[in-house]
Amino acid sequence: MKLTRLLDQRPTTRRDVLFVAAGTTITCLGAGALSHTVNKIDLRASLGWFDTVTVDLTGISPGSTLRVKWGQRPVLVRRRFTHEILSEQAVNPEELLDKYARNPELEKNALATDSNRVKKGHEQWLVVTGLCTHMGCSLTADYKEQVGGWSCPCHGARYDVSGRVRSGPAPQNLEIPPYRFVSDTLIELG
């Protein structure tokens, strides 16, 4: 009641208006940041990033790719030919559009050599997410181009058979999801 009388007695100043505006802005920004954080947590759970999926490799012939779903994300599992492995191993990562491996098991600055993008002893198997790193479009097989691999039908990015971006607007190599070999014929995503 005294505050009302105090406000009634003095005119509103520019300082009062700025104080209220600043307080409102700070409150809105804080609420927005909290909402964004909560949505990220819910999004990660809904995408199934905490789930595991077992993939049977027995039916995949050399040169073929199996598309599996891990949560809401497509994952490409490719059994590579020996000549593809040798060709990818010969690529100098310093000449790539993205020279980093993007492998969660390695340091962030690990180079995108073919050996840094596959599991040791299982070089014939490449496991990458099937979403373009430019705008998240689903990739399609691209065997017409010299680099082979996959292409983005939306904006034309191309990835080689090691999942490294070779042309187009994509800023990064394909992400390698966390996976492990349970046996020679089974992998577990997640």
Q: For residues 112 and 91, what is the distance between their CA atoms, to the nearest angstrom?
A: 9
Q: How far apart are the C-alpha atoms of 141 and 133, rounded to whole Å? A: 16
Token readout for 57 is 């490799």
**Cα distances (angstroms) measured from residue 188 to each of 36, 53, 113, 167:** 31, 6, 23, 31
Give the Cβ contact number of residue 139 at 10 Å.
Answer: 26
Token digits of residue 19: 């104080």
Place of tokens 């490799």: 57
| CA–CA gap between residue 161 and residue 147 (Å, rounded) | 7
Q: Does 155 participate in catalysis according to the annotation?
A: yes
Active-site residue identified among 36, 83, 122, 155: 155
Interatomic CA distance for residues 18 and 12, integer angstroms: 11
Residue 99 near residue 90 (C-beta atoms within 8 A): no
Which residues are marked as active site? Answer: 155
